[in-house]
Amino acid sequence: MKGKDVFTKREAEVIRALKMDVFNGFVRVFNLRGEALKDIPDVPGVYMVLRDSVERPDFLVRGSGGYFKGKDPNVPLSELCANWVEGANVLYIGKAKSLRKRISQYLRFGDGKPVGHWGGRYIWQLADAPELIFCWMPVIGDADAVETEMICRFREHYGSRPFANLMK
């Protein structure tokens, strides 16, 4: 589905809440290609990957993620099911020294390139990965601390880390 970003009512509510936290972007994966990447600021920050539905997705045995250093990025379906967070739209929270470069790496990894963005690889085993939404927030200061705080807030609300945030 190429074209305009169209959002459901629930998704629009989530986006409104995130915008109150100064998030920008809200662009679907299929629209974040080529010239669209230039709209992402080349500054430190935090970004998230969102899904417009809280329903359990269809998981793929073989996702589109690239093999980095010869390692298979795919995990068993049972691991994806075990990590799924019921009721959550946020699938991944990440930090970046450059939002543009890091999100570009994430997308190239999802296109099957051997890029070192191993952390959020679970999203590429979702059947609706092209429909996922990226948003970002520039951070002046310590993006690590902001990412950690956001993951802590998520954990307090849902009882676990976001779906694609792997244990470090």
pLDDT digits 0-9 by tens, 70-82:
899 999 999 999 9
Q: Alpha-carbon distance 5 to 38, whole Å? A: 17
78: left (phi over 0), alpha (psi -120 to 50) or beta: alpha
pLDDT tens digits, one per residue of 13-60: 555 555 556 788 899 999 998 888 999 999 999 999 999 999 999 999
The answer to whether the predicted template modeling score (pTM) of the entire model surpasses 0.75 is yes
Where do runs of H (alpha helix) occur along 38-126?
77-83, 99-110
Task: Give me the helices (H) in 27-120, please.
Answer: 77-83, 99-110
